[in-house]
Amino acid sequence: MILKRGQCLIYRYDHEELWIEPWGPNGLRIRSTKGPEMPMEDWALLPAQPAEADIAITDEGATIRNGKIWAELSKAGKLTFYNQNNKVLLEEFTRNRREYKYTPGVRPKSFASALNIKSREFKPILGGDFTLTARFESVPEERIYGMGQYQQPYLNLKGCQLELAHRNSQASVPFMVSSLGYGFLWNNPAIGQVTFGKNVTTWQVQSTKLLDYWICAGDTPAEIVEQYAQVTGTVPMMPEYGLGFWQSKLRYQTQEELLEVAREYKRRNLPISVIVIDFFHWTKQGEWRFDPQYWPDPQAMVDELKDMGIELMVSIWPTVDHKSENYQEMVEKGLLIRTDRGHPIAMTFHGNTVHVDVTNPEAREYFWNKAKQNYYDYGIKIFWLDEAEPEYTYYDFDLYRYHLGPNVQIGNIYPFMYAKAFYDGMQAEGQENIVNLLRCAWAGSQRYGALVWSGDIHSSFKSLRNQVAAGLNMGMAGIPWWTTDIGGFHGGAPDDPEFREVFARWFQYGTFCPVMRLHGDREPHSEPLGTTGGGLCTSGAANEVWSYGEEVYQICVKYLELRERLKPYIREQMKAAHEKGTPVMRPLFYDFPEDRVSWEVEDQYMFGPDILVAPVLTAGAKTRKVYLPAGASWKHAWTGKTFQGGQTIEVETPLDQIPVFLRNGAELPF
């Protein structure tokens, strides 16, 4: 049965109900369930704005059109999506006899098959809901971008299998942009996987009540990403301090140590916008307050930093120790995640802990109020919301249950709700232009001021190469605020010549990331200061720009000053991200979609529309090849030499230079 209800096209057959609705410009939302009623959560999507869809129902099926996209629904329930030029964008993969249609003299639309494979397969879970598989036809030459952050070097994800789950350094943000001219959001926070195969594209989740996705058509990648931003939200405007340099290490152990580093930056007349207090500055996990033994006067600390023009960011973890002063109250009120089996422990780092259940509105309010009382009221306006996946000691997703449901069914929503908890609290205090640093994100996280970093990655050239792909795909997935630990997190000794090279190249790359942030767990470690509270943890070696020898120091000074001079340009890119969802850093094809070669380049990117960046990603490199897109002239930022686009050139790469080219002679202060 096919019917129309308002602006919704509905299909019913054998307990399945399928809805197709206009959602945003040139977009359609598709939902399907075999439950008693359609679940109504919007998840990543904002509420739909009124739209006029063109719906037609015939004896052979139905069509629905919204702007540049239209869908054809066959009588047997198969969906095919087209753009305004009637080009097929995406087609469900179905193999059964019901799809066979024969008209004499006309090629059949699909062929009869004995395989009996469904495009939308709901497989009941005994006593529960459904495992779900959604299948689509694959176009082998299609190129796919977005999907979040995975630690791999591949920008084009065609041929990849991706876990739809979060881990430390992995963020599943299930929005993709296709070279065929469509964008696709898997609007389901369940744990699963997607395979972008050569023969079939398959989305699968372990437990769910429904199929839910959104698809749009666009003539360019930019148009697709901007339409996605309209239906999921954009970032706030980046505050001024976000444009500069952020200093961090594992971990400043005392108030005086942190202040002395800030003073040294000022004594050296070096630009610095933000300094960071990392984890275990607290009494116990889940108490969210400074340990007074090591941080005796937070207000004086914040005031001195503000007098120097430096904002303070403080690390927050959602873990609550069983011995915390807040644990019993939070258990009684049901504010913590639950373990379906065994003892309620989710993480065992320095204590037995369980996480705040941020899917519970009451828990979000409780969590924020503690942070407000113990941090925000001192004037601390930026939070490092760490452990945002959340991280478990063991990633047994079927073990945990949240207020909104079992982890396997809604677990990927956790970082989205974590960001929302603090965004809502800060907004209620009247703060504008909110930005908080998180180690994870899901679709829509951007609208809650989420600045995402790439997690606890290795300190090596191989890891640096992975970050280029990760950052670009995060931008294409609708997360324009992204950063890395400059130098990587795990390892690296400041006096090691090999690591100094990695650090110098990473620092240059970090200059051309949306946020320039130095962090890392350097070797060797120092000893703990005590046996309780903020004294429990060791700290890494020095990680300031002067910690790596005079040659590297001079390189850092050069790029710190360059970042400062580029602030007006970066501010314009942040405005575009805020207003349209434009990624600050993006693949070459974003700005040059007509240039075929630009779609194949995976180790260069555009930083805004006028700066092309080609990071040095191998040890000992004296030169590297750079592709200059057609349709523009390109000026070498360091030599001033101009080249015509549409060619690959080889440039020298002395240790103090990252290859950078300016589009059409853009006048920028290099």
Domain boundaries, the chain: 2-232, 244-319+358-580, 587-663
Residues near 501 by beta carbon (within 8 Å), at least 6 away in sequence: 619, 620, 655
Would you say residue 206 has pLDDT above 70? yes
pLDDT at 128: 86
* pLDDT band at residue 112 using 50, 70 and 90 as cut-offs: low
* pLDDT band at residue 211 using 50, 70 and 90 as cut-offs: very high
> Residue 568: what are its φ and ψ, rounded to 5°?
-60, -40
Strands (E), 6-119: 8-13, 16-22, 27-33, 54-58, 61-66, 69-74, 79-83, 88-91
pLDDT (tens digit per residue) in 526-575: 999 999 999 999 999 999 999 999 999 999 999 999 999 999 999 999 99
In CATH, what number does 587-663 get?
A: 2.60.40.1180
Three-state SS letters, 203-224:
EEEEEECEEEEEEEECCCHHHH
Same fold? 2-232, 587-663: yes
Q: What is the pTM of this model?
A: 0.96
Would you say residue 319 has pLDDT above 60? yes
Strand, coil or helix: what is 281? Answer: coil
CA angle 642, 643, 646 (to 5 degrees): 155
Alpha-carbon gap, residue 32 to 77, rounded angstroms? 11
Structure tokens at 215: 């698809």
What is the per-residue DSSP string for 345-401?
-SB-TTS-EEEB-TTSHHHHHHHHHHHHHHTGGGT--EEEE-S-S---SS--GGGEE
Alpha-carbon gap, residue 414 to 402, rounded angstroms? 9
pLDDT (tens digit per residue) in 362-411: 999 999 999 999 999 999 999 999 999 999 999 999 999 999 999 999 99
595 among known catalytic residues: no
Alpha-carbon gap, residue 489 to 522, rounded angstroms? 8
One of 72, 389, 544, 595 is an active-site residue; which one?
389
pLDDT at 647: 98
Alpha-carbon gap, residue 482 to 476, rounded angstroms? 11
Classify 255 in phi/psi space as left (phi over 0), alpha (psi -120 to 50) or beta: alpha
pLDDT (tens digit per residue) in 49-60: 888 899 999 999
Cis before 390? omega within 30: yes
pLDDT at 113: 79
Which of 481, 413, 411, 489 has the alpha carbon at shortest distance from 452? 481
579 among known catalytic residues: no
Alpha-carbon gap, residue 635 to 137, rounded angstroms? 43
One of 92, 456, 485, 595 is an active-site residue; which one?
456
Q: What are the distances in angstroms from CA 606 to CA 89, 157, 514, 584, 634? A: 27, 19, 11, 8, 12
Alpha-carbon gap, residue 319 to 368, rounded angstroms? 14
Alpha-carbon gap, residue 454 to 474, rounded angstroms? 10
The radius of gyration of the chain from alpha carbons, rounded to an integer in Å, stands at 26
Which of 443, 391, 454 has the alpha carbon at shortest distance from 413? 443
Q: What is the mean pLDDT of residues 280-308?
A: 98
What is 2-232's CATH number, 3.40.449.10, 3.20.20.70, 2.60.40.1760, 1.20.120.430? Answer: 2.60.40.1760
Structure tokens at 442: 């899901």
Tracing tokens 């696709």 back to the chain, one arrives at: 184
> Residue 583: what are its φ and ψ, rounded to 5°?
-60, 140
Asked whether 344 and 307 are in contact (CB, 8 A), the reply is: no
* pLDDT band at residue 97 using 50, 70 and 90 as cut-offs: low
pLDDT at 103: 47
Tracing tokens 């908080």 back to the chain, one arrives at: 436
Alpha-carbon gap, residue 147 to 386, rounded angstroms? 21
Bridge partners, 27 (sequence order): 216
Alpha-carbon gap, residue 180 to 175, rounded angstroms? 15
291 among known catalytic residues: no
Would you say residue 110 has pLDDT above 90? no
Alpha-carbon gap, residue 389 to 415, rounded angstroms? 6
Question: Percentage of the chain surpassing pLDDT 90?
Answer: 95
pLDDT at 50: 84
In CATH, what number does 244-319+358-580 get?
A: 3.20.20.80
Structure tokens at 235: 């970032």
Asked whether 73 and 215 are in contact (CB, 8 A), the reply is: no
pLDDT (tens digit per residue) in 416-449: 999 999 999 999 999 999 999 999 999 999 999 9
Q: What is the mean pLDDT of residues 90-98?
A: 86
What is the per-residue DSSP string for 238-280?
PPGGGGSEEE--S---SHHHHHHHHHHHHHTT----EEEE-S-
One of 99, 386, 485, 610 is an active-site residue; which one?
386
487-514 residues labelled b (16+ CB within 10 A) or e (exposed): bbbbbbbbebeebbbbbbbbbbbbbbbb
Pairing mode, if any, of strands 16-22 and 2-5? Answer: unpaired
